[in-house]
Amino acid sequence: MNAPANVSFSEAPIRHDWTRDEIMALFAMPFMDLVFEAQRVHRLYHDPNKVQLSQLISIKTGGCAEDCGYCSQSAKHAKTTGLTATKLMEVERVLAAAKKAKAGGASRYCMGAAWTSPKDRDMDSILAMVEGVKDLGLETCMTLGMLDDCQTKQLKDAGLDYYNHNVDTSEEYYKEIITTRSYQERIDTLKRVRDAGINVCSGGIVGMGEKPEDRAGMLMTLANLEEHPDSVPINMLVAVPGTPLEHVEKLDPFEFVRTIAVARIMMPKAEVRLSAGRQEMSEETQALCFLAGASSIFYGEQLLTTPNPENNKDMALFSKLGLSPA
């Protein structure tokens, strides 16, 4: 195999000292060698025929004060996207939707809010959602923006299993996409979540017009954290009309598969999630993502504000591939 000279493939070491050159060398491997190696690493820690199903709900949509260039929910893009902002959803509605998600086969329920950070007045409802969803026998995940110490502890005490907070891209490209909060602030929230004993879910988006070096840089940030994130969502940009990234050039699907493969090799134990963008992806590309080590998907016909494949379509694909939900 044409493995880069400086990477040992005899095992799958858990490393936190990746250099960008090493990561670029992984990306540059012949596609077949890269995917084969990713699948080998995948099989050391994961059942290759099982895929975990996480379902999303937007518990508070739109009107967000941040200016993330990809996002339909920034108040800055509201005039052009036409998205109407909502208030925080009632707890009962969230629990009713979670029940449906569980009946449909999801094992984790991910609740997302279009906030810079939660307000203290929202915390009672948020904590009741965590407790209620947990009582249904689902794993819980929340993504609410930045957290302070007190909010993090409250979420932990309520039993929150995972907190999602993405680094989104490389440190260098981040400034081109978001100006209202810094890369370091994101890393600080991740540390707070980790220190509180909540599982970390952190990944990013590709296909935002970034360079290959930025895809490598994003994975370098994630893998060089003190501990690897437990879940790593890799999103293909959903180019939402009315957002600044609406017309960005599409990323070649093979580059997306390579990103999944390199994430798998760098973070062998993590759940690597084939995340947003499946609605526009062929079945064949998705199958290559599973071969490259994706161990999880977002399931259910809606992401946050954009569509996702219907359950029966996903189950038909699973059946063709002999995959089953974890």
Query: Mind telling me the catalytic residues?
Result: 64, 68, 71, 110, 141, 201, 273
Q: By rule CB under 6 A, what count of residues binds ligand SAM?
A: 20
Binding status of residue 112 toward ligand SAM by CB under 6 A: yes
Sorted by sequence, the CB contacts under 8 Å of residue 304 that are 6+ apart come out as 56, 58, 61, 73, 112
Within 13 Å, how many C-alpha atoms sit on residue 220's CB side? 20
Distance CA 71, CA 62 (A): 9
User: Given the rule CB under 6 A, which of 77-85, 165-173, 223-231, 251-259 is the region that contacts ligand SAM?
Assistant: 165-173
Query: x/- contact string, 197-236, with ligand SF4 (CB under 6 A)?
Result: ----------------------------------------
Residue 208 or 292 with smaller CB distance to ligand SF4: 208
Q: Contact between 238 and ligand SAM (CB under 6 A)?
A: yes
Among 58, 74, 140, 170, binds ligand SF4 (CB under 6 A): 74
Q: Which range, of 66-74, 93-101, 214-222, 239-247, touches ligand SF4 by CB under 6 A?
A: 66-74
CA–CA separation, 197 and 158 (whole Å) = 12
- What per-residue string of b and e applies to 85-119 under the rule 16 or more CB within 10 Å gives b? eeebbebeebbebbeebbeebbbbbbbbbbbebbe
Using rule CB under 6 A, residue 115 touches ligand SAM: yes
Written as six digits, the tokens of 27 are 């990306």
- Applying CB under 6 A, the site for ligand SF4 has a residue count of 8
Q: For residues 55 and 99, is the Cβ–Cβ distance under 8 A?
A: no
Which amino acid is residue 283, in one-letter code?
E
Q: How far is it, in rounded angstroms, from Cα 314 to Cα 241?
A: 26
User: Chain-centre distance of CA 124, in angstroms?
Assistant: 26
Of 120-159, binders to ligand SF4 (CB under 6 A) are 145
243 near ligand DTB, rule: CB under 6 A: no
Cβ of 155: how many Cβ atoms within 10 Å? 24
Q: Which partner, ligand SAM, ligand DTB, ligand SF4, none, binds residue 251 by CB below 5 to 8 Å per kind? A: none
Q: Of the ranges 16-24, 194-202, 210-218, 236-244, which one interacts with ligand SAM (CB under 6 A)?
A: 236-244
Q: How far apart are the first and last CA of the chain?
A: 32
When binding is defined by CB under 6 A, the residue of 158, 205, 232, 234 that contacts ligand SAM is 205
66 binds ligand SF4 (CB under 6 A): yes
Q: Which stretch binds ligand SAM (CB under 6 A): 4-12, 108-116, 247-255, 266-274?
A: 108-116
Asked if residue 64 binds ligand SF4 (CB under 6 A), the reply is yes
Q: With contact defined as beta carbons under 8 Å apart, do 197 and 156 qualify?
A: yes
Supply the minimum distance, in Å, between the C-beta of residue 6 and ligand SAM.
Answer: 31
The option from ligand SAM, ligand DTB, ligand SF4, none interacting with 74 (CB < 5 to 8 A, set by class) reads ligand SF4
Instruction: Please report how the helices 283-291 and 253-266 are oriented relative to each other, as an axis angle in degrees rounded to 10.
Output: 20
Contacts (Cβ under 8 Å, ≥6 apart) of 272:
232, 234, 260, 263, 264, 293, 294, 295, 296
CB 183 within 8 A of CB 148: no
Contacting positions for ligand SF4 (CB under 6 A): 64, 66, 68, 71, 73-74, 114, 145
Contacting positions for ligand SAM (CB under 6 A): 64, 70-71, 73, 112, 114-115, 143, 145, 165-166, 168, 204-205, 235, 237-238, 240, 276, 304
